Amino acid sequence: MKFWDSSAVAPLLIKEPSTKAVQKILEKDSDMLVWWGTEIECVSAIVRLEREMKISLGNIEKAFERLDCLKGAWNEIIPAEIVRRTARRMLRVHSLHAADSFQLAAAFCASNGQPSTLDFVCFDKQLLLAAEREGLKVIQK
């Protein structure tokens, strides 16, 4: 099982340069672990493209269908006090936005304090750097 940041989930929904790479990762291991806010971050990415008129209506609907399919199969790290406390620490230690601190905290907590045991799939450079510093095994293509 790998932890998937929203930046790695989005290319599974919308055609991007990294789409083929993330599809290969998912084919090798289809067990996805995500932060509970990942669905909303993905919706935000889709509707941003819609507002910018960079995606057709048909592709928007397909993206939402793919999101619903993935969501039905993935495992979520739910909101918990330990995740919130860890996210606070992540913000103090790393240069991250709030949502990224939750992503990283969720992955860290999912590893049960042994970050080197969990693969972290991500395409956000700042978040990748923080994940590496926290000891997670980062996967990027």
- CATH (domain of 98): 3.40.50.1010
Looking up tokens 């606070």 gives 88
- Per-residue tokens: 8: 């790695």
Domain that holds residue 102: 1-141
What confidence score (pLDDT) does residue 140 get? Answer: 72
Query: Looking at the DSSP assignment, which residues form a beta bridge with residue 35?
Result: 77
What confidence score (pLDDT) does residue 15 get? Answer: 93
Give mean pLDDT in consecutive 10-residue pieces for the chain, a chain of 141 residues. 97 95 96 97 96 92 97 97 98 97 98 96 96 94 58
Q: What is the Cα–Cα distance from 121 to 127, expressed in whole angstroms?
A: 10
Task: Count the domains in the chain.
Answer: 1
- Per-residue tokens: 20: 């083929």
Query: Looking at the DSSP assignment, which residues form a beta bridge with residue 120?
Result: 3, 138
The angle at the Cα of 47, spanning 39 to 83, to the nearest 5 degrees, equals: 30
DSSP output for the chain: -EEE-HHHHHHHHS--TTHHHHHHHHHH---EEEETTHHHHHHHHHHHHHHTT-S-HHHHHHHHHHHHHHHHH-EEE---HHHHHHHHHHHHHS---HHHHHHHHHHHHHTTT-GGGSEEE---HHHHHHHHHTT-EEE--
Length of the chain: 141
